[in-house]
Structure 1
């Protein structure tokens, strides 16, 4: 996760607006029917020492002006994550506000190419943002190591970055500091996913209002940002610079110091004259020129870039075989959660305990259905997917049934986490080991039972929930009426997702 030194950035101007960020604390849940857990509502905010829940490891993975990033191990489950630690004493009020804004934005984002946030802690001295751990290093380091990428690898890299950017822009989020240092490889394995990180300068923006904060990093900053009047297309400029660097190994706007670099950015002229460009296709050069168009009104959108012929052809499209697609759609068709607590716990298991390998298999199917690359599945995209596989007389009716069950946040489309929750192999995720891990996370005091107060703590991100709803949730599972949930009751509740008649099984 990013911990860049802010001295590499230009930052001045207004404070970030919270106009478009969601505030779950304002949501009032007065009936159990309204208790619909989503990926964002699982992010917990805690006051107190992080050391109660996590062991922080040395040495730091990275350091910045106000803090550092470390590995940390969750004590109850032994899961390894990353934590960004920010010193309150060393951090100006404006940066602290920016950090809280970053947390709010990360909570909303649900995309496989964007870093996933788990928890946000603060004590008297520090803020802590706990996220998934990426072990493959920065794209920046890979560029230095390999000097430049071939066109296929470049296109595959850019497609992932642009899918994340397109998703953000469709949700009115602008990143504003895209650069290879803020793009991490999930692992060292071949074909590892890329993750966009460091949303400290991001903003939930109003599409009808130009932004005016001058911030970013000199090599990658768009000319209109320097003029303090810009929109989300500033991210496309930054992506164009990244694309240029990936193909030739050097930036399009260079100089001996920041001032020189930014003066060249303002002029906006670059060339493909060096010998490094001799073997690069016209299609790649054409796309760069369209992304580094100085006039943002003529510059491509993220959606346009993803539809570019060179990008689509050079990156190749992962072909999903019909049996894999059919299995995923069958799982979605048969997904039913009988109880609200069962449904909420299942979403928790998917978000916190499903392996990267399990999710990545489903990602390919998700992307094959997501034909407009917006990171969500619309009704029409699902209908087309069903038509490919099933000879159903009325696929519209079937898809509408699925949306009713799977679309937990009632957005009218299926988010990535909702897709994974509905299509993942239920038998594998509900293994004995994972059920025991999940119960440990719920049973926060280690008493061997889960109480109403522990449920409140686990799902605090749901907002203002009436006490009667918490009682109803507990009573759904509390078969012996002792006011708490035993491991046996918890396990039986979850195994009914595989076999609804599993009541009483041990």
Structure 2
């Protein structure tokens, strides 16, 4: 979760017209104003209307441009229980001490504005990652809020999951799942028989995640191998995109902030006409180039020379290494690393490219019994659904989720990170279920699992229904979940504690009574551990 380490900040009000701005951009590329920084104090260099702050990240192989500007609106906490991914993230009260909840195990990385640590949650003993960002290192704290807010709204199997946010006078702490499988290039180097098919498998996952982001108008702007990690060391481990610190949502107009990592920076980012999500396509194209032959397409003697080479966008496909690469893979690289963003392929078209789609068929990960069981999943009120999903996101372990992750990916034929009714129906037909029966059954499944009524099944919706219906939660996990909800540690969960868990919402009395009716066996108006376990284990 490396932080950005180069920042170019533009005073837009000082620009009189596009030619002046372009002239300054050209000077940034032409003149080596970005120099090797001192080890302690960052070096500030002022040039006309630019402020360049250079900082060193010893852990990163590639430098990074970071800006404190952000156009995202002020984040507001919701006051009612609307089912969405962001309610599954715990927002601690301002000033709540991080150290009372987490123990730092070891440092994972160092960035220009903070550090990333492996931490242990004290109540549950779960291992997580904590990105600790110093407020004094950031000019605009809104940028940090934007990062956490963007992550809260994302629910995709190939995007890191945010779990909790703390804020005190000195720092902001962004808690995410801990991905212990190493970085993308580390994984590639460790594979003895690495080949083009493996590169294709990894690229398909990256593109799927980015199609999901682009469908929501979110631009990552810092895609690089260091920001792609694996769940664990298993050879078939799932990969995830991390570090949305440079990301931004396109609201009404093109983005203009000069931001990114030079080796992966699209040419138009340094231009004067703005840019859109196509900059991520360029970055993914560079990643694909590296995955195929092991070196970057644009690599100068220094960062400025690298930027100059990227501006020219002259690709070379000569040499022995390229002789072993398929024409289809080369074709995709050419379409992604295209200087003109208008001619550059979209992320969706890249995902649908013949090279990506021509993958060896994997065995079907589900059978008729799976669909018959999932149909039995009970519909609940929003509070019950929120509790179930909160536990799935916050507590469930990889071994509890792995089977259903594979099923979800098998069903998600278009790779957009969502399941449509047609995709689920096709899955039923693929396992030889009766077509008429399947059409009736799929409607019932959608009604029960599509809890936010979006018309498609999100990843967490699918995981929650699958794990609970097949009673895959380990008892240890359910006990950990209880401790997470029991905020005062008195052995019971109250209505007030549930309200605080979900960000200070007001829980409707009828919803609370429904929960008590399902599990409060001793009728004391509180939920004890055994009652909570029965509720989550789908035993009532």
Shorter-normalised TM range: 0.7 to 0.9
Q: 1:70 maps to which residue?
A: 117
Alpha-carbon deviation of 1:142?
Answer: 3.9
What does 1:203-218 correspond to in 2, within 5 Å? 203-206=248-251, 209-218=253-262
Q: Does 1:119 align with 2:135?
A: no
Of 396, 402, 415, which residue of structure 1 is paired with 2:445?
A: 402
Q: Greater RCO between the two (CA within 8 Å, min separation 6)?
A: 1
Instruction: Quickly say closer, same or farther: Cα 1:457–1:249, change in 2 above 3 A.
Output: same
Q: Which digits, 9 at most, give the CA deviation of each residue in 1:13-46, with x for residues without a partner?
A: x832225x9x6624x53xxxxx454442110111
Q: Scaled by the length of structure 1, what TM-score is found?
A: 0.88
Cα 1:305–1:427 shift into 2, 3 Å: closer
126-135 vs 146-155, which moves further? 146-155
* Structure 1 residue 255 corresponds to structure 2 residue 300: yes
1:486–1:237 distance in 2 versus 1, CA, 3 Å? same
Q: Cα offset for 1:466?
A: 5.2
Compare 187-196 and 338-347 and name the one that shifted more. Answer: 338-347
Match of 2:477 in 1: 434
Contact 1:219 1:261 in 2 (8 A): yes
Match among 128, 132, 138 for residue 85 of structure 1: 132
Deviation at 1:291, TM superposition (A): 0.8
Q: Tell me by how many angstroms 1:491 deviates.
A: 3.2
Q: What is the correspondence of 1:441-480 to structure 2 with a 5 Å cutoff?
A: 441-460=484-503, 464-465=505-506, 468=509, 471-472=512-513, 475-476=516-517, 477-480=519-522
Alpha-carbon separation, structure 1, partners of 2:246 and 2:509: 40
Give 1:327 deviation, angstroms. Answer: 3.5
Mapped to 2, the partners of 1:44 and 1:472 lie a distance apart of: 24
What does 1:17-96 correspond to in 2, within 5 Å? 17-18=71-72, 25-26=77-78, 28-29=79-80, 35=81, 37-46=83-92, 47=94, 48-58=96-106, 60-89=107-136, 91-94=137-140, 96=141
- In the TM superposition, what is the alpha-carbon distance from 1:380 to its structure 2 partner? 2.1
Cα shift at 1:418: 0.6
Is the alpha carbon distance of 1:72 and 1:274 closer, same or farther for their aligned partners in structure 2, counting shifts above 3 Å? same
State the secondary structure of the residue aligned to 2:175.
strand
Give matches, 1:138-287, under 5 Å: 138-142=183-187, 149-206=194-251, 209-228=253-272, 229-287=274-332
The residue number in structure 1 matching 2:535 is: 493
TM-score normalized with structure 2 length: 0.83
1:346–1:421 Cα contact (<8 Å) kept: yes
Greater CA deviation, 40-49 or 386-395? 386-395
Shift of 1:383: 2.5
The corresponding residue for 1:372 is 414
With 444-453 and 234-243 compared, the bigger mean Cα shift is at 444-453
Q: How does 1:349-368 map to 2 (within 5 A)?
A: 349-368=391-410
Which of the residues 443, 453, 456 maps onto 1:413? Answer: 456
Residues 123-134 of structure 1 aligned to structure 2 (within 5 Å):
123-134=168-179
In structure 1, the residue corresponding to 2:259 is in which secondary structure? strand
The change in CA–CA distance for 1:291 and 1:265 in structure 2 (over 3 A counts) is same
Q: Distance in 1 between matches of 2:298 and 2:444?
A: 53
**Structure 1 residue aligned with 2:47:** none
Deviation at 1:352, TM superposition (A): 2.3
CA distance in 2, matches of 1:133, 1:300: 33
- Check the 8 A contact 1:342/1:494 in 2, yes or no: no
Which residue number in structure 2 is paired with residue 327 of structure 1? 369
Does the 8 Å CA contact 1:162/1:306 hold for their aligned counterparts?
yes
The alignment status of 1:9 with 2:35, answered yes or no, reads: no
- Deviation at 1:394? 5.3
Residue deviations 1:425-466 (CA, integer Å, cap 9, x gap): 645434432332221111122111111221112222xx6435
User: How far apart, CA to CA, are the structure 1 residues paired with 2:501 and 2:70?
Assistant: 29
The 8 Å contact of residues 336 and 344 in structure 2, kept in 1 or not, is answered as yes
SS in 2 for 1:265: helix
Q: Deviations over 1:96-117 (max 9, x none)?
A: 3222111001001111111111
SS of aligned partner of 2:441: helix
Q: What SS does the corresponding residue of 2:263 show, helix, strand or coil?
A: coil
Q: CA deviation at 1:214?
A: 1.3
Structural RMSD (CA)? 2.5
Answer yes or no: is 1:318 the counterpart of 2:362.
Answer: yes
Query: Aligned with 2:264: secondary structure?
Result: coil
Alignment partners' CA distance in 2, 1:105 and 1:267: 33
Residue of structure 2 aligned with 1:109, choices 129, 154, 158: 154
Inter-partner Cα distance in structure 2 for 1:325 and 1:5? 49
SS in structure 2 opposite 1:25? coil
Distance in 1 of aligned mates of 2:425 and 2:326: 37
Cα drift, residue 130 of structure 1: 0.7
Unaligned runs of 5+ in 2: 7-54, 56-62
